[in-house]
Amino acid sequence: MPYIRIEVTREGVTQQQKQQLIAEATEMVVRVLGKDPATTFVIIDEVETDNWGVAGRTVTERRRMTAPRPAGTPADPPGG
């Protein structure tokens, strides 16, 4: 009874994309391990970007740091 857990940030993953993830993850386990799709469980967890960290910063903060600035907008001062 395979259990597949997929974690993504909550940023507009559509129902269609979720269905595709579930279908293709199930197909992979059937193909690779020969498991029964009727007993293969797929869970998709959506995590807020404030609750997901990479390299010591939240995804929210990293996105803010790399977002393009409108022309003429001053950069934030160091540490701010």
pLDDT at 75 > cutoff 90 = no
Domain-located, residue 32: yes
Count up the domains in the chain and report the number: 1
Q: What's residue 34's pLDDT?
A: 98
pLDDT at 70 > cutoff 90 = no
What is the per-residue pLDDT across 4-47, written as a single tens digit (0 to 9) for each? 999 999 998 999 999 999 999 999 999 999 999 999 999 999 99
The DSSP secondary structure of 25-46, one letter per residue, reads HHHHHHHHH---GGG-EEEEEE
Domain-located, residue 71: no
pLDDT at 50 > cutoff 90 = yes
First to last CA, the chain: 50
Domain-located, residue 74: no
Give the active site residue among 2, 37, 68, 78. Answer: 2
Active-site residue 68, yes or no? no
Q: What's residue 73's pLDDT?
A: 66
Q: Domain limits at 26?
A: 3-63
Report the CATH number at residue 17.
Answer: 3.30.429.10
pLDDT at 80 > cutoff 70 = no
